[in-house]
Amino acid sequence: MQPDLVLFTGDFGNENLELVQDVAALNFPKAVILGNHDSWSTQQFSSKKKDRVQLQLECLGQEHVGYKRLDFPLLKLSIVGGRPFSCGGQQIFRKRLLSARYGIQDMEGSAKRIYEAALGTPEDHLVILLAHNGSTGLGSELNDICGKDWVFGGGDHGDPDLAQAISHLKETTNVSIPLLVFGHMHKELAHGNGLRKMIVVGADDIIYLNGAIVPRVKRSTNETSLHASNSDGTYRAFTLVEILSGQVNKISESWVSVVGNETTLEEEHILFKSNGQSSC
């Protein structure tokens, strides 16, 4: 069954234009935000020829939602994008790119652009925020959803501009934001320290969902797949969100085996159910 909408959180590779072109060509409703790896080598836009960041943005067109809103009237959903190319933390990554394309000079200006993108959302629409990295304020332990797992003692590696925009929207508008979807912060922690918390239900009633399962695609083996015995098969992770009657009903991490044109659901791990239960 085809999904109603697919969200891509970025980091397709180190400026992997070919893969981004393949994503752009997919024939179903989608929204995309580019990550830090999608601007891995390009620090500023070339004046002589189109660089690979420009070409990625060009092929994605309106489906790249950095600092803007994309409405899906049939679904009564609007996707509002955060800051593109984010690397997390207190510093703006690829500031020259953001300044040239979006006029962004600092975190305050970035927060203002995210906030303004949500204004004018149709009254009967839910807003899903799509960012490459999550927001600050979600914990500072190394296994927290945006916690620093690569340094001793951890720390909050969220995006402060995203947190500021969310707070301002909550304070000054009636925009309904049930969900923030992001990636960047890998589920498997550095130095073999276990697994990251991948979902948080915030005090603001927003569900913060991290989809950064890395690697997302594995070669099928007898250990990873019950049905994909063919060595050419793959085993792929998807994070699925079910929204019913304007509310998030269920979120799951699903692993699907793919052999040729045949797909099989191999595993499903429930991360959230609307009865209030959630797990990591």
**Tens digit of each residue's pLDDT (9 = 90 or more) over 157-214:** 999 999 999 999 999 999 999 999 999 999 999 999 999 999 999 999 999 999 999 9
pLDDT at 144: 97
CA-derived radius of gyration, the chain:
18
Tens-place pLDDT, residues 108-127: 999 999 999 999 999 999 99
Q: Identify the helix (H) or strand (E) that includes residue 23.
A: helix 17-25
pLDDT at 277: 52
What structural domains and CATH numbers belong to the chain? 6-213 (3.60.21), 215-279 (no CATH)
Residue 181 and residue 208: Cα distance in Å, rounded?
6
The distance in angstroms from the start CA to the end CA of the chain is 26
pLDDT at 222: 54
**Which amino acid belongs to residue 150?**
W
**Which amino acid belongs to residue 165?**
A
Q: Range with the lowest mean pLDDT among 84-88, 130-134, 236-240, 271-275?
A: 271-275
Question: Which residues touch 192 (CB under 8 Å, ≥6 apart)?
Answer: none
Tens-place pLDDT, residues 131-159: 999 999 999 999 999 999 999 889 999 99
Judging by DSSP bridges, how do beta strands 176-182 and 207-210 pair with one another?
parallel
% residues pLDDT > 70 (the chain): 94
Q: Range with the lowest mean pLDDT among 34-38, 90-94, 123-127, 231-235?
A: 231-235
pLDDT at 228: 43
Tens-place pLDDT, residues 49-63: 899 999 999 999 999
Rounded to an integer, the average pLDDT of 204-229 is 78
Question: Which residues touch 128 (CB under 8 Å, ≥6 apart)?
Answer: 7, 77, 78, 79, 80, 177, 178, 179, 180, 181
Mean pLDDT (the chain) is: 93
Q: Is the pLDDT of residue 21 over 70?
A: yes
Q: 220 pLDDT band (50/70/90 cuts)?
A: confident
Question: Which residues touch 65 (CB under 8 Å, ≥6 apart)?
Answer: 31, 32, 33, 79, 80, 81, 130
pTM above 0.85, yes or no: yes
pLDDT at 23: 98
Residue 99 and residue 144: Cα distance in Å, rounded?
31
Pick from 172, 168, 164, 197: which is nearest to 271 by CA?
197
Residue 92 and residue 83: Cα distance in Å, rounded?
9
Q: 278 pLDDT band (50/70/90 cuts)?
A: low
Q: What separation in angstroms does the CA of 248 have from each of 4, 74, 132, 197?
A: 14, 17, 21, 19
* CA atoms lying within 13 Å on the CB side of residue 254: 14
